[in-house]
């Protein structure tokens, strides 16, 4: 196949392949390695503070002078109401006890101590650090931010999980849309956390392509030449891979997590909002079974911030039953090679055709 | 693209395109029209009686002398226990009252009157009627039936919604596997009704292809050259279309149902077990909102048989809130042309490339 080039030209990379931003898994080393493979790395900043983000951007710059995308969450933050406070006071002790019952001693933070922040301070940091590409998920940027970012020549990549989200992004002038099929791992990029479409890539990408003119990246299920070619047929101009890099040398996953992934069965892959309050695709475990569908889930980002210490403690104890291990539906191709090798192998598979 | 021919040669049709069996929607006329387009029609027999099935097979033969697939359900039938009886006695009055509250007067049958039958009598009918192709869903055929059917030269097509189901089908010598992506409309073909994988076609088809040698049909989301080419890339040797024919001239849907389909929004497409006790993809309505997730759902096939009269009464009253309108996730391409024209247009799109 001939590489589509609308997006790669615009982003300034040789190959239209994007390393997916995977907060907690992708690293500055992974971003740099993707760049060395002449692909686009994505620096996952999620909802870090401006200072933390600036530090990561600068670390990345030390490792590569090639372009990369900064990736942030642009979620709405629910107000702290009395009802939320009341719920928090039930959820925290429940989760602490659940952890304790499973040999994880952890003190979870108070509601007031959760570092919940709007994304706007990140916008300024990204402009000041002269980032050239900003990708985002969980909604659309506000109009003012879009204007400011565009005035600074920053290319904007929004994420959609439905045709209607794609139309919203296009209408507000977002440059590139990343279409996330239900196959993708980790958080669904859906705007409304309570109504998560689960549209398969074949239906989603083809229908988004029929409805918008904006160039499209596709994410979800790509792991070899076959899947990449299929997505190319469906109209994508660029190809985002996440799962393929989950177990790579540059992944922040620990060996016990990589081992768990290699043994995962297809019936263990589920969508859960138990860890963060937003639906994410990953590996079912004891924590998820106890919490999913229960009343012990706060809205995002509160649940996410609350369970952070729990997940860290579980990771420290190498306890697969209480860490969040995210993965998509293509589960048979975790490689422990370097990110650069994995991406170069994928490129070779395509060019060999 | 060059048409893959492993399956079309085996089935004795010119094009490797299959009209999906859609019980309640597809008709003998649709099967014959698919055959006129040099594709394979599928005669949906579901769990009809042997006599009813024989009649439909003979009717089809009057309309075409080309091959077609007979399609049956090979589900396990749960025993009538005291618990089931007790539940039935709650579900029936609840559904009758729900209907009544919505201006549908209907008397639902007693448990003893539900025509619940194992699929084995259909096997004999299919052999006696000299059918040449049998496709099935909801599980695998038992060993004895497989042997009997094979001895009679009948080509067997099983349905999978996961890699593990594909492996089971292959192991028992099924000739062709139909891989049903989560994009597909109507019933999920899953073996275990309580654990329904929702794997997107990109991940599912590519991984099934990696794990079995059996030739593959793909179903779910195909509606144009783009989607068909993509599925071809992923390794399918034949292409099953359902949604594309839902509103065709030969469809059994009434005009009010076709109108409803044309207005459907992507966020109205859901999986529900409220009508049949097995998950099926269709259009959300008042009935589904009232029953889904409630205690008023019997296991398949009891729920299906019980709600039959309710759905018929709703159809008679043209009440979209109480009929089951099934559809997949590719919702923008319902055509009211004839089945033959729709299929010929699809073929032309491919050959034109």
Which pLDDT tens digit goes with each residue over B326-335?
999 999 889 9
Q: A196 burial class (0-12, 13-18, 19+ CB within 10 angstroms)?
A: buried
At residue B235, the pLDDT reads: 97
At residue B31, the pLDDT reads: 98
CATH numeric code, B1-77+117-251+334-353: 3.20.20.70
Q: What is the mean pLDDT of residues A148-157?
A: 98
Residues in chain A: 353
Using 50 as the pLDDT threshold, list the residues of chain B that sit under it.
353
Measure the CA–CA gap between A10 and B136, rounded to whole angstroms: 49
Q: Residue for token digits 């104890």? A: A317
C-beta of residue B174 within 8 angstroms of C-beta of residue B149: no
Do the chains contact at A227 and B202, CB–CB below 8 Å? Answer: yes
Measure the CA–CA gap between A309 and A115, rounded to whole angstroms: 12
DSSP character at residue A225: H
CA distance B289 to chain A (A): 15
Question: Reduced to 3 states, what is the DSSP secondary structure of residue A128?
Answer: helix
Which pLDDT tens digit goes with each residue over A15-65?
999 999 999 999 999 999 999 999 999 999 999 999 999 999 999 999 999
pLDDT-derived band at A353, boundaries 50, 70, 90: very low
C-beta of residue A201 within 8 angstroms of C-beta of residue A221: yes
Mark out chain B residues that contact chain A at CB-CB < 8 A.
Answer: 162-164, 181-183, 195, 197-204, 206-207, 209-211, 220-224, 226-227, 229-231, 233-235, 265-267, 328-332
What is the crossing angle of helices B120-128 and B50-63, to 10°? 30
Which pLDDT tens digit goes with each residue over A116-137?
999 999 999 999 999 999 999 9
Question: Reduced to 3 states, what is the DSSP secondary structure of residue A52?
Answer: helix
At residue A122, the pLDDT reads: 96
Which pLDDT tens digit goes with each residue over A165-217?
999 999 999 999 999 999 999 999 999 999 999 999 999 999 999 999 999 99
Do the chains contact at A182 and B201, CB–CB below 8 Å? Answer: no
At residue A1, the pLDDT reads: 86
CA distance A154 to chain B (A): 32
At residue A293, the pLDDT reads: 95
At residue A304, the pLDDT reads: 97
At residue A23, the pLDDT reads: 97
Which pLDDT tens digit goes with each residue over A296-310?
999 999 999 999 999
Pick the CATH number of A1-77+117-249+334-353 from 3.40.50.720, 3.40.50.300, 3.30.750.24, 3.20.20.70: 3.20.20.70
At residue B1, the pLDDT reads: 86
CA distance B227 to chain A (A): 6
Structural Rg of chain B based on CA atoms:
19
Domain ranges of chain B: 1-77+117-251+334-353, 80-115+254-324
- How far is Cα of residue B171 from the mean position of the Cα atoms in its chain? 23
Q: What is the mean pLDDT of residues A131-149?
A: 98
Q: What proportion of chain A, given as a percentage, has pLDDT over 70? A: 99
At residue A284, the pLDDT reads: 98
Partners of B201 on chain A (C-beta within 8 Å) are: 200-202
Do the chains contact at B183 and A203, CB–CB below 8 Å? Answer: yes
Do the chains contact at A162 and B266, CB–CB below 8 Å? Answer: yes
Residue pairs spanning A and B at CB distance below 8 A: 129
Q: What is the mean pLDDT of residues A101-114?
A: 95
Strand partners of residue A17: A239
Mutate to test the interface with A, among B167, B199, B203, B237 (most CBs of A within 10 A): B203
Nearest to A332 among B210, B230, B234 (CB): B210
At residue B353, the pLDDT reads: 47
């Amino acid at each position: 196949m001939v590489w589509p080039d609308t997006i790669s030209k615009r982003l300034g990379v040789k190959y239209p392949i994007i390393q997916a931003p995977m907060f907690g898994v992708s690293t500055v080393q992974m971003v740099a390695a993707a760049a060395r493979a002449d692909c686009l790395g994505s620096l996952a900043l999620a909802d870090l503070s401006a200072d933390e983000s600036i530090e990561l951007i600068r670390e990345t710059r030390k490792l590569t002078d090639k372009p990369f995308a900064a990736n942030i969450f642009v979620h709405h933050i629910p107000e702290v109401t009395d009802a939320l406070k009341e719920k928090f006071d039930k959820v925290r002790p429940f989760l602490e006890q659940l952890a304790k019952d499973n040999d994880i001693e952890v003190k979870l933070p108070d509601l007031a101590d959760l570092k919940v922040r709007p994304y706007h301070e990140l916008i300024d940091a990204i402009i000041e650090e002269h980032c050239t590409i900003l990708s985002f998920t969980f909604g659309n940027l506000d109009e003012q931010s879009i204007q400011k970012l565009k005035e600074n020549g920053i290319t904007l990549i929004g994420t959609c999980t439905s045709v209607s989200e794609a139309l919203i992004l296009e209408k507000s002038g977002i440059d590139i849309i990343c279409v996330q099929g239900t196959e993708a791992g980790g958080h669904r990029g859906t705007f409304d956390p309570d109504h998560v479409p689960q549209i398969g890539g074949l239906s989603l990408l083809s229908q988004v392509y029929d409805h918008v003119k904006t160039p499209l990246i596709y994410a979800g299920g790509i792991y070899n030449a076959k899947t990449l070619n299929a997505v190319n047929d469906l109209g994508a101009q660029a190809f985002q891979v996440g799962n393929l890099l989950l177990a790579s040398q540059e992944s922040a996953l620990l060996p016990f997590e990589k081992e768990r992934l290699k043994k995962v069965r297809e019936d263990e892959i589920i969508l859960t909002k138990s860890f963060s309050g937003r639906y994410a695709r990953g590996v079912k475990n004891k924590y998820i079974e106890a919490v999913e569908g229960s009343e012990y889930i706060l809205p995002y980002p509160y649940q996410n911030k609350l369970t952070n210490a729990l997940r860290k403690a579980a990771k420290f104890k190498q306890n697969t039953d209480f860490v969040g291990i995210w993965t998509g539906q293509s589960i048979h191709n975790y490689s422990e090679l370097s990110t650069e090798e994995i991406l170069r192998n994928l490129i070779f598979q395509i060019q060999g055709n």
